[in-house]
Chain A
Amino acid sequence: MPDLNVKIHNLTLKNPVLTASGTFGYGEEFDDFIDVNTLGGIIVKATTSKHREGNPYPRMAETPMGMLNAVGLQNKGVDYFVENIYPKLLKYNNCVIANVSDSTVEGYVEVAEKINRLDHIQAIELNISCPNVKEGGMAFGTSCPSATAVTRAVREVYDKTLIVKLSPNVTSITDIALAVEEAGADAISLINTLLGMAINPETRKPVLSTVTGGLSGPAIKPVALRMVWQVAKAVKIPVIGIGGIGSAADAIEFLLAGASAVQIGTANFVDPQVTTKIIAGIQDYLTRHNIPDVKELTGGLIL
């Protein structure tokens, strides 16, 4: 049996398959379909300092091999998370990671401080890349000084593993990656959604209430793979690959490009069992190629 364990800083994952924030709710939505504990870990829906209603409907547009969303970080705020959602996450014995977002540095710090006290949350993923909020979110992740500032501020109050999730909507993703590494990130995850747009030609109106939204799904996979490859070469900390992964072969591409683990996002909407199929598929691949340890795949691209 090949070894599927991977390490991301201080985290030990039983396999390299995580779920992407915002695509897996708080885990329980999937309990009818899979044993969530068989996954490497789950990254739950983003938490902000205050309750957020998110953006008005319509929030979604299907596009060729993907979708645009403009949910806008709808969540009930960190205090509600701590009191009501955290207790329900205790049933998961794999790695549970919180995704943290906000519109101010102080807000990010507040959420990170409060989540730092929760023993069962082993890491946070700092979301500096949400394209769907008017202030903050992606704005932090599109310039080196602001990415540095928010990462450094959270690093000061957060003791456990700090993952920073990068936006692809930048000129040079490696510059941002190097900036957050320098500012104290323990790992980097990428990519968040690509800013996009859809118009209804009959009405001449945008499909989304916010006009623009974040593109995800298989359509973005080549872009994500290229960015993971560039970033993995540039930084020393582990990289987690995200973007259009829907099969074991897709996941293996990201590992070969330099990722130590992957996140499955939009594919969960089409097949709630896709994560377990990907884990089985990675195992098959390793067996078929006589590779004893999945870690050997990371950066194994042959040029």
Chain B
Amino acid sequence: MKKYILNLRVRSNKRLNQNHNLIELGCDSPLPSMVPGQFAEVRVDGSPSTYLRRPFSIHRVDRGANTMHLLIKSVGEGTRHLSALKKDDILNIMMPLGNGFTLTRNSEVLLVGGGCGVAPLYFLAEQLFRQGNKVNMLIGGKSAGDVLLADDYRAFGTVYVSTEDGTLGEKGMVTAHPVLAKRVQSFSKIYCCGPDGMMRAVAHIAETNHIDCEVSLENTMACGIGACLCCVVETHKGNQCVCTEGPVFNPKKLINWTSETETGCSLDQ
């Protein structure tokens, strides 16, 4: 898929809570083709301490309006700068990067997202819904405030929520939620994005139950195009770049992912 460097205009910047923003970006010419799970590398202009681009999942694409959304969590100087963007500001973006999720058809699937790990799952849920799948979405967070955009996903299927402190949905880890703990066998595929520990735990459940699984990794990156070799993950074929071989992987290809006997996870990880 051809990659582009585009100057996109901020159409809106919506604050979801204290540290998450949803930024809608538009363009005069049609946005390039992209698939769920791919990401964009965003240049952070005007933030002197931010030299490298920042990678973000493509959260949603609205072809009618010719816009795309990025879900941004403020964790440092660069992301705080992006969260403060105003309407009509210009963002320099390299996209689409990496490989997306493998879409099934006419099956029942489960999407598991933790914290800002829900970012790539909206675009995915929408496409899976269009392919005739019965979509189930499980969103986890430490607390109610970390459960992002749960209502938006209801357009594509059933939404389940769990929080570690019990302030919303089931109390406990996402992996303890009944949809995973009791009826996981009903899914032909599980897609997961979130903290490392959560993805490992979900991958383990999937493996134990012989369910196909894909996870989306978020390693620290510089170039985003396979030139610097900084974002590698250990796979059975050696170190591979998350930016070009991923960010979506079948956990069976990753070393020490599915052989471990992890049963829980914490969003602290």
Contacts and interface: CB of A to CB of B under 8 A. Distances in A.
A61 to B, nearest CB: 8
B4 A64 contact: no
A268 B223 contact: yes
Contacts of B31: none
Contacts of B177: none
B222 A60 contact: yes
Given A58-B220, A62-B52, A30 B43 contact: no
Contact of A269 (B2, B49, B228, B238): B228
B43 A272 contact: no
Interface of B: 2-5, 43, 48-53, 94, 219-234, 238-239
Contact of B220 (A60, A217, A269): A60
B227 A29 contact: yes
A54 B239 contact: yes
Contacts of B52: 62, 67, 269-270
A162 B5 CA distance: 36
A71 B53 contact: no
Nearest to A76: B238
- The size class of the interface chain A forms with chain B is 20 to 34
A25 interface: yes
Contacts of A217: 51
A271 to B, nearest CB: 8
A24 interface: yes
A66 to B, nearest CB: 6
Nearest to A28: B226
A30 B26 CA distance: 25
A67 B222 contact: yes
A29 B49 CA distance: 27
Contact of B230 (A45, A53, A69, A270): A69
Indicate the member of A217, A266, A272 with the most B CB atoms within 10 Å. Answer: A272
19 contacts: A25-B227, A29-B227, A33-B3, A54-B229, A56-B234, A57-B219, A57-B234, A58-B220, A61-B220, A62-B52, A67-B51, A71-B228, A71-B229, A268-B227, A269-B52, A269-B224, A269-B227, A270-B51, A271-B43
A218 interface: yes
Interface string A65-84: 11101010010000000000
Contacts of A23: 223, 227-228
Contact of B239 (A30, A53, A60, A266): A53
Do most interface residues of chain B lie in helix, strand or loop, or is the interface mixed?
loop
A59 B223 contact: no
B267 to A, nearest CB: 17
Interface string A21-40: 01111000110110000000
B233 A66 contact: no
A245 B228 CA distance: 17
Contact of A272 (B50, B219, B225): B225
A229 to B, nearest CB: 25
Contacts of B226: 25, 29
A146 interface: no
Given A57-B232, A270-B53, 11 more contacts: A23-B223, A23-B228, A29-B226, A54-B229, A59-B229, A59-B231, A59-B232, A66-B51, A69-B230, A217-B51, A269-B52
Nearest to B49: A64
Nearest to B53: A270
B254 to A, nearest CB: 12
B225 A29 contact: yes
A71 B231 CA distance: 9
A273 interface: yes
Which 7 A-B pairs rank lowest in CB-CB distance, beginning with the nearest? A60-B230, A269-B223, A25-B227, A32-B3, A269-B222, A29-B227, A59-B230
A261 to B, nearest CB: 20
Contacts of B222: 60, 62, 67, 69, 266, 269
A53 B255 CA distance: 14
A254 to B, nearest CB: 20
A32 B231 CA distance: 21
A270 B43 contact: yes
B3 to A, nearest CB: 4
A54 B53 contact: no
A60 B225 contact: no
Contacts of B219: 57-58
Contacts of B51: 62, 64-67, 217-218, 270
A22 B5 contact: no
Contacts of B232: 54, 57, 59, 74
Contacts of B5: 33, 271-273
A65 B52 CA distance: 9
Contacts of A58: 219-220
B34 to A, nearest CB: 14
Nearest to A246: B51
A57 to B, nearest CB: 5
Contacts of A69: 222, 228, 230
A32 B4 contact: yes
A45 to B, nearest CB: 8
B15 to A, nearest CB: 25
